[in-house]
Amino acid sequence: MFKISEDGIKKIKQELSRYEVKESAIIPSLYLAQKENNGWINTEVICALAEVMGLPESKINEVFKFYTMFNQKPVGKYHVQVCTNISCALNNSRELANHICNELKVRFDEVSPDGRFTISKVECLGSCGTAPMMQVNDRYYENLTSESAMNLLRGMK
Ligand code: FES
């Protein structure tokens, strides 16, 4: 049974105190809960958040389902999100994403056999001027080539 840590509860209460309506604290609270649940969110997490926030589960669920940065199934230790929107696509990001999957022997949105990687294709991450780019957990990597991306990923243990 998932439980939010004491520190997590404290942070969520701080977020709640910053806004006039509780709903405004849903996104940062989902982020926090996702981190505490190894990078993804399930019904237990939603239930725990609803209790701490004093909101109906449905309110949290609708935000969770809308935003793609919240994962609906388990991800690897490193969640590699390759932008395949227009600027990145024009700079071969789709080929880059396929290359990474082939090299790491994992299908899109699945966890690699060693548990290290999940590769996802995502929409614009707001770094179009440095295309192609990818986000790995909380960090951006830009101006990538197939070689530089694989060097970065192979260094992540
Ligand atoms: S199109 Fe890739 S970051 Fe904007």
User: In Å, what is the CA distance from 104 to each residue of 11, 20, 79, 150, 154?
Assistant: 36, 46, 13, 9, 9
* Residues whose CB is less than 8 angstroms from the CB of residue 53 and which lie 6 or more positions away in sequence, other chains included: 12, 16, 22, 25, 26, 29, 60
Return the CATH number at 121.
3.40.30.10
In the beta sheet, which residues pair with residue 80?
Answer: 119, 136
Task: Convert the pLDDT of each residue in 24-58 to its tens digit.
Answer: 999 999 999 999 999 999 999 999 999 999 999 99
**Domain assignment of residue 1, yes or no:** no
Is the same domain home to 149 and 83? yes
Q: Is the CB of 92 under 6 A from ligand 1?
A: no
Is the same domain home to 88 and 150? yes
Give me ligand 1 centre to Cα 134, in Å: 9
Is the same domain home to 145 and 88? yes
pLDDT at 68: 85
The one-digit pLDDT tens for each residue of the chain (157 residues) are 899 999 999 999 999 999 999 999 999 999 999 999 999 999 999 999 999 999 999 999 999 999 988 999 999 999 999 999 999 999 999 999 999 999 999 999 999 999 999 999 999 999 999 999 999 999 999 999 999 999 999 999 9
Give the residue numbers spanning the domain of 61.
6-66
**Domain assignment of residue 41, yes or no:** yes
To test ligand 1's pocket by mutation, which of 85, 92, 96, 142 has the most ligand atoms within 8 angstroms of CB? 85
In the beta sheet, which residues pair with residue 147?
Answer: none
pLDDT at 80: 98
Is the same domain home to 37 and 101? no
Max Cα–Cα distance, the chain, nearest Å: 48
Give me ligand 1 centre to Cα 55, in Å: 34
Residues 150, 135, 120, 32: is their CA dihedral positive or negative?
positive
pLDDT at 1: 87
Give me ligand 1 centre to Cα 83, in Å: 6
Kindly state the DSSP code that residue 128 receives in the 8-state scheme: G
Task: Say how far apart CA 38 and CA 46 lie, in whole Å.
Answer: 14
Query: Domain end: 15, 45, 66, which one?
Result: 66
* Residues whose CB is less than 8 angstroms from the CB of residue 27 and which lie 6 or more positions away in sequence, other chains included: 63, 67
Q: Is the CB of 96 under 6 A from ligand 1?
A: no
Is the same domain home to 142 and 106? yes
Give the total number of structural domains in the chain: 2
Query: Domain end: 31, 66, 101, which one?
Result: 66
Query: Domain end: 17, 44, 66, which one?
Result: 66
DSSP 47-90: HHHHHHHT--HHHHHHHHHH-TTS-SS---SEEEEEE-SHHHHH
